[in-house]
Structure 1
Amino acid sequence: MSQDSSPAGGLGVALLGSELRVLFRRTRTIAMLGALAAIPILLAVAVRITTGGDSGRGPAFLGDITQNGLFVSLTSLVVAIPLFLPLTVGVVAGDTIAGEAGLGTLRYLLVAPAGRIRLLVVKYIGAAAFCLAGTLVIVIFGAIIGALLFPVGPVTLLSGQTVGVADYAGRMLMMALYVTISLLGLSAIGLFISTLTSVPVGAMAATIVLSTAAQILGQLPQLAFLQPWLFTTYWLGFADFLRSPVSFDNFQSNGLLQLGYVVVFGFLAYGRFATKDILS
């Protein structure tokens, strides 16, 4: 039995390694990561120029940044979550299968033999890896530019306690993990849509539009009954990591919700992909 599973496992690892190399060497991916890195940089520079480093000027969140550069990462995440992160994730997830079909390489991947389930899993892991990479880029570049332009020191949490830089750095990593998990449901939706077409631009656009629509639906009081089921419901719940003690209620609820989307749309993607004629 081990002799049969070893080649399959080796093929899966090799396929995943190849997928990650292709994904993160692609010019489009590098450009999107660069655009995400530009969010905290532009934000910090804009705050520096408009306030001149004076913490008494501007809205409250600008004052927080000028007092402590570590808030650049947090503010950048808040700015990126509604539009920029879903946009880039939609591009990557929507391209997973449709991109290969459009290029004519999908049939060769399956003849390899990669197997349809294995290929779907590898493509999804690649999209999830981009979610993590994109989030970390925002957090890391936010911390760097914040330290360069503003003072850095102990951070006052939302609950009033003050923590050191190392403690806050750990909390920011947890926030990055939270945001990554928040985007897994969208990635699964994009994977499913990508199996429906051979036009990657259409799959990308549909995924991004659904992300925007879900956020709009979540703001309508008349549709409050839908809010617990929308994959965007807990996207901003990472503020719990700025309290002491940390509450993991939103983290658990968000994880279960995203897992539900991954399972449902993963099965839908397989159901579509398993019957899809990719040789004609």
Structure 2
Amino acid sequence: MNQDQVKEILLSIEDASLDFTLVFSGKQSKKVNGLYKPEPREIIIHNRNFNGDDNLLLYTAIHEYAHHLHCCSMGGKLSGRAHTSEFWAIFHRLLEKAESQGTYQNVFAGSPELTQLTDEIRKKYLYENGSLVKELGRELLKAHELCTAMGARFEDYLDRVLCIPKVAAKAAMKMFQYNLNPSVGSDNMKFLTGIRNEEQRMAAESALLSGKSPDLVKTEIARKPREEDPKVTLEREKLRLERTIDSLTKRLDEVERELEEL
């Protein structure tokens, strides 16, 4: 694979509004596999780093091309910080496109051992951790009700009794109130609590569950208004109502058990 072929592949993944050059350095580098120079709009690939591995070479080329597309979106100039959330969103979008058209092969999908470990991490740690934080939010809401009934400040209870940050406590409470899916993990759940628009929040959650990267979701989904047809809107409302009914049913069962114990 030569440099012209690589450039052609990059343009087939996604076109660029500004032209660029792509060159093979013919050298080996111990520091980086490639780099992007924004002023001359030049991608340099240290092709002797790859030992004939075209897939890894393409991965590097796509990474550097993401810098160029980011530069294009910024009017031809990049800030001092290159690896921003916007950059990672562009890069992950390009990888998805390249995988879908068969240009680039997802290296993570080729290892049965890694696939098994990934399932274990998702189920045993991400889901369980998310569930625990969500349950904490439920208990904190109960504590808030009790503090209010006592005439005490809930914030003081968080500071002086539980000794936990108010921001973390409020995020956990919102996780429960919004009935977020613990499968995305507690960190992503915390991010979702910051999305006020319910439709955008649910769209972001769905994107995370489908395998979209957090940076891509934050940049391309959570920050943009969504236009949907009436059917999609009704289906989303149906899901929202089902979640609310499920949450209220669980709370009703808890209240009935507490009443029986009194």
Is the TM-score greater than 0.5? Answer: no
Structure with the larger helix share: 1
**What is the TM-score normalised by the length of structure 2?**
0.31
Q: Which has the higher contact order (CA 8 A, sep 6+)?
A: 1
Larger Rg: 2
